[in-house]
């Protein structure tokens, strides 16, 4: 996919500060406020020294095009940043009432891009969902979209308590409700980050079912398959207990079995009693704790991991173990509010900033090789090395574009790239050749990477684009990450196609 975009004035680089109190940690309480002239200065620093004289810049021969002389290239190392900032589909989450909430702007203002929502179905245990409820949930999704956030969703028929829970519903009623919800979930999947399996038992956590829905494996897996069918094929459903995943689908997942569209490849994990005891209050069967942690650690390389703490349990719930297990189990999403004593302990002990930065993905460019001059219609070689410093890969599909921003704006999609495969602690290298439009006017263009949302409805909303952890790169107005400057120069060497009309990635 290619895009030619209208010219916007250069926006200042976004500078954010750590949120205080129970904020989610990405950004200040004023939201995504720009930093003015200081941001532009940082952007200029990041794109400077392009003549090869500066630190971290080296001359290298370019990849030769089929005909003509290869344009000379330079290699730079864009500076990283330890700043904590907002990014979609990762991080600490807030909580909201999807049925009632209509003004969700506070979520981003408090530094979150995610909100957890229980949708309570207590009044529908014996009857169909009515139009009023379905319309209210749809309006809640619309409000989330307007606010630039996504939802972690769970349906439940009660809010506990344990062990004497209020009722859930029969299998037949649950299946009928899922069928009623399917069109709504399909229509609003763009703002659905993940969905918890829900429905069964106390809090929808798949224990203490008053209808015995966990006694016969066929019942719970019929419900789970119905929920998978109700969602788009690229959305995951999260289970509370790892043994249920293995009982129904085997595993653990491997690179060969991940992302293949199967049910197993779409079922992730949520732990609602992280660090609460040696077994995390029954998350892992006693006597097999390490086996099941290894199982989840392997799975969550390829499926989402999300949850919350529920019980202060020092020293296990203190920073050293928390950091080790968040990394080991590839956590992407964590409750900022519960348990408040555990979360407060992380703040007091000093590890909360690292948790906020490293939940999910944290991508940065470590090296960029490119031609600083290219002729109109010429070939621009670009080699990018990205590193994921986070604890997990991006959880949902997302495209990658290479872009030029100058007197006009051009973006070309890079084929065959799936950021879900950018695993934590790994480097990814992309070697590209871009055909530049012959119609580009001479002048300076910013060279950028753009990782927008996969949904067309959100594609041009920069709040849903991934921000790279490179100092001075982010452009708030476009969601682009500017890495360097390229001069469009008719005198630059290299083969030229005078008929090229748009920026494209060559095979």
Kindly give the residue spans of alpha helices, DSSP state H, lying in 418-482: none
| Eight-state DSSP code of residue 122 | G
Residue 503, helix vs strand vs coil: coil
Alpha carbons 211 and 157: distance in angstroms, whole number: 12
Instruction: For the beta carbon of residue 231, count every other beta carbon within 10 angstroms.
Output: 20
Alpha carbons 109 and 199: distance in angstroms, whole number: 31
Q: Beta partners for 87? A: none
**Which domains occur in the chain, in start order?**
42-83+363-505 (2.60.40.10), 91-235 (3.20.20.80), 241-359 (no CATH)
- The pairing of strands 409-413 and 480-488 is unpaired
pLDDT tens-digit map of 346-356: 999 999 999 99
Non-local (6+) Cβ contacts of 325 within 8 A are 274, 275, 293
pLDDT tens-digit map of 310-329: 999 999 999 999 999 999 99
* pLDDT tens digits in sequence order for the chain, 507 residues long: 444 333 233 232 222 222 334 567 765 433 333 333 333 333 344 333 333 333 333 333 334 344 456 789 999 999 999 999 999 999 999 999 999 978 999 999 999 999 999 999 999 999 999 999 999 999 999 999 999 999 999 999 999 888 889 999 999 999 999 999 999 999 999 999 999 999 999 999 999 999 999 999 999 999 999 999 999 999 999 999 999 999 999 989 999 999 999 999 999 999 999 999 999 999 999 999 999 999 999 999 999 999 999 999 999 999 999 999 999 999 999 999 999 999 999 999 999 999 999 999 999 999 999 999 999 999 999 999 999 999 999 999 999 999 999 999 999 999 999 999 999 999 999 999 999 999 999 999 999 999 999 999 999 999 999 999 999 999 999 999 999 999 999 999 999 999 999 999 999
Alpha carbons 277 and 325: distance in angstroms, whole number: 13
Per-residue pLDDT, 23: 67
Residue 115, helix vs strand vs coil: strand
Of the candidates 494, 380, 369, 386, the residue with the CA atom closest to the CA atom of residue 435: 380
Q: How are the residues of the chain apportioned to helix, strand and coil, as percentages rounded to the nearest 5?
A: 25, 25, 50
- Ramachandran region of residue 228, left (φ > 0), alpha (ψ -120 to 50) or beta? alpha
* CA 268-253-153 angle, 5° bins: 10
Alpha carbons 57 and 371: distance in angstroms, whole number: 12
3-state secondary structure 246-293: HHHHCCCCCCCCCCCCCCHHHEEEEECCCCCCCCCCCCCCCCCHHHHH
Distances (CA, A) of 241 to 263, 302, 432: 16, 17, 43
Q: What are phi and psi of 441, to 5 degrees?
A: -75, 145
């Amino acid at each position: 996919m290619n895009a030619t975009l209208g010219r916007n004035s250069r926006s200042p680089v976004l500078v954010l500060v750590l949120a205080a109190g129970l904020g989610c940690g990405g950004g200040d309480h004023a939201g995504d406020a720009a930093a003015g002239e200081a941001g532009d200065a940082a952007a200029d620093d990041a794109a400077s020294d392009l003549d090869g004289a500066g630190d971290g810049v080296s001359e290298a021969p370019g990849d030769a095009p089929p005909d003509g002389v290869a344009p000379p290239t330079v290699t730079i190392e864009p500076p990283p940043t330890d700043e904590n900032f907002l990014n979609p589909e990762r991080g600490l989450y807030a909580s909201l009432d999807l049925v009632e909430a209509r003004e969700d702007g506070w979520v981003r203002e408090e530094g979150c891009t995610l909100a957890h929502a229980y949708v309570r179905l207590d009044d529908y245990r014996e009857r169909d969902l009515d139009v009023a409820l379905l319309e209210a949930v749809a309006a809640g999704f619309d409000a989330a979209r307007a606010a630039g956030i996504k939802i972690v969703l769970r349906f439940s028929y009660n809010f506990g308590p344990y062990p004497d829970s209020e009722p859930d519903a029969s299998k037949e009623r649950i299946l009928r409700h899922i069928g009623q919800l399917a069109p709504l979930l399909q229509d609003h999947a763009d703002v659905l980050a993940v969905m918890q399996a829900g429905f069964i038992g106390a809090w929808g956590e798949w224990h203490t079912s008053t209808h015995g829905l966990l006694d016969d494996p066929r019942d719970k897996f019929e419900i789970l398959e119905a929920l998978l069918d109700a969602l788009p094929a690229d959305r995951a459903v999260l289970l509370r207990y790892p043994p249920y995943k293995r009982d129904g689908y085997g595993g653990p997942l491997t690179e060969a079995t991940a992302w293949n569209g199967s049910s197993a490849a779409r079922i992730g994990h949520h732990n609602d009693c992280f660090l609460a005891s040696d077994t995390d209050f029954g998350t892992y069967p006693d006597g097999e704790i390490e086996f099941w942690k290894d199982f989840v650690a392997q799975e969550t390389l390829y499926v989402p991991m999300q949850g919350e703490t529920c019980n202060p349990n020092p020293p296990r719930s203190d920073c050293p173990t928390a950091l080790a297990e968040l990394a080991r189990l590839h956590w992407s999403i964590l409750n900022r509010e519960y348990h408040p004593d555990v979360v407060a302990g992380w703040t007091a002990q000093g590890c909360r900033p690292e948790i906020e930065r490293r939940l999910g993905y944290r991508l940065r460019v470590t090296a960029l090789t490119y031609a600083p001059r290219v002729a109109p219609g010429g070939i621009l070689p670009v080699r990018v090395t990205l590193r994921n410093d986070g604890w997990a890969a991006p959880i949902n599909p997302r495209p990658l574009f290479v872009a030029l921003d100058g007197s006009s704006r051009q973006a070309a999609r890079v084929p065959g790239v799936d950021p879900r495969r950018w695993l934590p602690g790994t480097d990814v290298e992309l070697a590209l050749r871009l055909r530049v439009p012959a119609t580009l006017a001479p002048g300076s263009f910013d060279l950028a990477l753009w990782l927008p949302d996969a949904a067309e409805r959100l594609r041009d909303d920069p709040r849903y684009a991934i921000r790279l952890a490179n100092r001075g790169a982010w452009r708030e107005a476009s969601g682009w990450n500017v890495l360097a400057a390229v001069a469009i120069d008719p005198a630059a060497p290299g083969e030229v196609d005078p008929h090229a009309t748009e920026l494209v990635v060559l095979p």
